[in-house]
Structure 1
């Protein structure tokens, strides 16, 4: 299953760039959530608007699907160069340590801002943070949903799901690596792009029709991760995307306009019939897949090259992801009494979020002992020590325990 040679495969620089851009877009997207009038979020600005939702619909269908697809490709390359044991140990350290650090040290500021806005919390942050570790504290009686009472993953749900999906993927690897399955995938990629698109779309539509909407992001993520894993080594597929990028762009623009129209006419209309809602769901699902394949095609066309800064940007992705939403909400909470205005406030939040996250990345990456806590690969010597102690402690004991705690 593991150690299938990938030495002859070139580095997928376009996917590295796409990973950086996809996670970078989360800062813009989650800043937009502060101002969305109809979409729920942990904290809301005083400058709410329904118009911002039109811009966010450009990203919302496909942003996480793209991240999951790239995660699947990454897993294929990682599994090809590591043994089974090293694969599980390295992925668990990379994912679980940042998740646990984020839950207890990064996410709480979001709950503090939310409770301050919704229930008039009068504690300062230090008093709140002390209470946060008391799982039976009465101030959290109305905030009981989460991993433990009032403790939740918030935006870090991706890390938890990524680890769980990785374990599930390992279980089905013998099936995925069967020669007949690989031959079938290769055969599919040799068909027209329309046929490929339909084959990939049908499972997404079936999931959307059968799965509850409030938890649909989980099976959707697992499916896109599986797509990425299976298509990682299929150059014919990417060549087809490259040839058709203009057509995909045109279809995506049309799809976006239809999604915006359907959002206001159907989804925002309480009188909409069930068939209208279902039709809109199918349109949105189609746009989800179309957005992912378009981004892959554009990356093939414009980003398939290396740059000296790419490695550094790639290393900053996890720290940015872990920190960004808490920084956004903390800044919005701080700026609210200042009444900066509908233009200055979001610009200040976006700019400062990038600067603050980069500052923390530079500080964290300077200390090898801190790197694994935020998903940064430490230096070679420290990395070897980390793998040794992880083996010594015993992945087989700790990981199932963490799975119980994190579900």
Structure 2
């Protein structure tokens, strides 16, 4: 595999993507889409800024994860070592999160939306570990940590391909894929794949349940694979450098179409079939074009180190593990107190920032706790 220096721009892209994800989940408290806890009343127009990132935030996370996974494989040098490292780094905090971090989220949802009358202590000891459903909610649950589960599965697929496909064949496949994406194919091929998935499964909605989410896996495996390819064929950054400004224009135009359709059919307003199709196509065009543009910006302007970079890059995973529980719990308290939208938003931002930093800074100092919150053991 080709090797290269660390690309700091991809680090910053990963940090920024997770920061946007946290802000997006704060927005979920206000927007009229289903979620664990909702403001009363919800606010229709919040959907429009939310849709600015909705189509690309998760594919971008899978892309930068694919890039990081390829870098780790190059460092470890073998499929077995790669799987062991990824499994320890992902599954240990996943198990800890399901047991110790996630549980307030389904309790809040059950109490607020399903009339569950028991306190949290009773819920955790008597209902959370039922390994079944309670009023339609599967317990225990991984909630937002589905991303960790899917990422682990995708790394297993990558390791299996590496183990089964001879090295010469892998080189040829990577070379051909890089040539395919080297020009306008960078825009056309990934978007065509996304549109083909939508055309084949137009009614599918993400379940995050792993086993019944095939079209979603196809949707996310593509950016994961392209992220891996970016690492092993860094010549693709030259193609991105030539194309990212065009991609930025496409992304902004497509978002304009998405926002216009949402404005005309806000919230749960019925939408004609033609508008549904236009919305779905525009979202996918916006999503992939924005990803190309962000990679280009990261490569052109962010490929430099900073004293905060290493700490922020390390903090990303602990932040991700805990952030949604903080938002849901504080959202529940704000809902009980009937706090207005603007102060509620400011409180949620402040509480989430403080809570995430406390979780990370407190956990990183305790040796046995580090792997549980997604940090490497100290040497």
Fold shared by both chains (TM-score > 0.5): yes
The TM-score normalised by the length of structure 1 is 0.84
Query: Aligned-pair distance for 1:122?
Result: 2.8
Matches within 5 A, 1:325-340: 325-340=324-339
Query: Aligned-pair distance for 1:48?
Result: 1.0
| SS of corresponding position for 1:75 | helix
| SS of corresponding position for 2:52 | coil
Q: Structure 2 vs 1, CA of residues 252 and 128 (structure 1 numbering), >3 Å: closer, same or farther?
A: same
Match in the other structure for 2:270: 270
CA contact (8 A) 2:258 2:283 kept: yes
Match in the other structure for 1:401: none
Please state if 1:61 is matched with 2:55. Answer: yes
CA contact (8 A) 2:59 2:223 kept: yes
Q: What's the RMSD between the two structures over aligned residues?
A: 2.1
Match in the other structure for 2:204: 213
Please state if 1:199 is matched with 2:189. Answer: yes
Q: Structure 2 vs 1, CA of residues 234 and 324 (structure 1 numbering), >3 Å: closer, same or farther?
A: same
Q: Structure 2 vs 1, CA of residues 134 and 11 (structure 1 numbering), >3 Å: closer, same or farther?
A: closer
| SS of corresponding position for 1:308 | coil
Match in the other structure for 2:348: 349
1:211-258 CA distances to partner (integer Å, 9 max, x unpaired)? 352134332111211111122233332233234443332322211111
Q: Structure 2 vs 1, CA of residues 176 and 287 (structure 1 numbering), >3 Å: closer, same or farther?
A: farther
CA contact (8 A) 2:250 2:286 kept: no
Unaligned runs of 5+ residues in structure 1 are: 381-407
CA contact (8 A) 1:189 1:234 kept: no
Find the partner of 2:21 among 13, 17, 26: 26
Q: Structure 2 vs 1, CA of residues 258 and 126 (structure 1 numbering), >3 Å: closer, same or farther?
A: same
The TM-score normalised by the length of structure 2 is 0.90
Match in the other structure for 1:172: 161
Q: How far apart in 2 are the matches of 1:329 and 1:276?
A: 33
Q: How far apart in 2 are the matches of 1:188 and 1:313?
A: 35
Please state if 1:92 is matched with 2:87. Answer: yes
CA contact (8 A) 1:36 1:50 kept: yes
Match in the other structure for 2:177: 185
CA contact (8 A) 1:175 1:181 kept: no
Q: How far apart in 1 are the matches of 2:97 and 2:255?
A: 34
| SS of corresponding position for 2:319 | helix
Find the partner of 1:102 among 97, 105, 129: 97
Q: How far apart in 2 are the matches of 1:279 and 1:367?
A: 51
Match in the other structure for 1:295: 294
CA contact (8 A) 2:114 2:135 kept: no
Find the partner of 2:148 among 150, 159, 162: 159
Q: How far apart in 1 are the matches of 2:150 and 2:221?
A: 8
Query: Aligned-pair distance for 1:5?
Result: 6.4
1:149-183 CA distances to partner (integer Å, 9 max, x unpaired)? x2221111001111111111212225495232122
Match in the other structure for 2:278: 279
Match in the other structure for 1:389: none
Q: Structure 2 vs 1, CA of residues 339 and 279 (structure 1 numbering), >3 Å: closer, same or farther?
A: closer
CA contact (8 A) 2:98 2:140 kept: yes
Q: How far apart in 2 are the matches of 1:249 and 1:134?
A: 46
Match in the other structure for 1:358: 357
| SS of corresponding position for 2:117 | coil
Query: Aligned-pair distance for 1:270?
Result: 2.7
Q: How far apart in 2 are the matches of 1:221 and 1:157?
A: 13
1:119-163 CA distances to partner (integer Å, 9 max, x unpaired)? 3333222222112345179xx631343xxxx22211110011111
Match in the other structure for 2:40: 46
Match in the other structure for 2:136: 143
| SS of corresponding position for 1:59 | helix
Match in the other structure for 2:210: none
Unaligned runs of 5+ residues in structure 2 are: 207-214
CA contact (8 A) 1:22 1:66 kept: yes
Query: Aligned-pair distance for 1:263?
Result: 3.1
CA contact (8 A) 1:156 1:322 kept: yes
Match in the other structure for 1:319: 318
Query: Aligned-pair distance for 1:269?
Result: 5.2
Q: How far apart in 2 are the matches of 1:329 and 1:340?
A: 15
